[in-house]
Structure 1
């Protein structure tokens, strides 16, 4: 084997006869200025956002907001707080939120809404 690494995608394309059968827009041209001005993570964020990707903690944030609007009992609050704890483990540190109580539910609705 003359390769120094496993090129799984290349092998799949090669076996299907599609290895060099790409006519991509911009092939052989310099990358756009905006692309090289951002780091790899920023480029990933832009591509993911453009593709409609939503991080799991943002999905959870929307779910918690919906649950807060419907909450009426202590059982509902316990369920919400379980979700808040999960949210706090997934989200960036500055985005973490306090647990909810029945007394502070209106404030929580404003914060999460």
Structure 2
């Protein structure tokens, strides 16, 4: 058995991906390469730094994308309900409630919301 394979960690998938990416030249022209890191990266909370970098890069968490999708869907359902186009709306409300349950599993606890009913769709759409 080779010495390299003997000491290799068994589940370092990300490390393997990064090493392969580096071998193919993917790390050659990175933005900021060779420049020192700002001092703020070494002070404070690492998670806050990650959030700032992710936000600057345009990253949106899954729960935030779901929140926007639910809001848009509820507004559309509420408009159709007010206009009297009630065919198929109960099915759409059921599908939105499935998204709300998924949203509640992934969002911060203070942001969780209850499921909606067709009879109160107008109020629910304003809450989202």
TM range (shorter): 0.7 to 0.9
1:10/1:19 contact within 8 Å kept: no
Q: Residues 33 and 98 from structure 1, CA distance in 2 versus in 1: closer, same or farther, beyond 3 angstroms?
A: same
Shift of 1:90: 1.0
Q: Residues 36 and 108 from structure 1, CA distance in 2 versus in 1: closer, same or farther, beyond 3 angstroms?
A: same
Instruction: Select which of 48, 57, 78 maps to 1:42.
Output: 48
Higher-helix-fraction structure: 2
Shift of 1:100: 0.5
Q: Gaps spanning 5+ residues in structure 2: where?
A: 10-14, 82-88
CA–CA separation in structure 1 for the residues paired with 2:24 and 2:103? 43
Runs of 4+ in 1 over 6 A off after TM superposition: 17-23
Shift of 1:25: 4.5
TM-score normalised according to structure 2 size: 0.67
The alignment yields a C-alpha RMSD, in angstroms, of 3.0
Q: Where does residue 85 of structure 2 map in the other structure? A: none
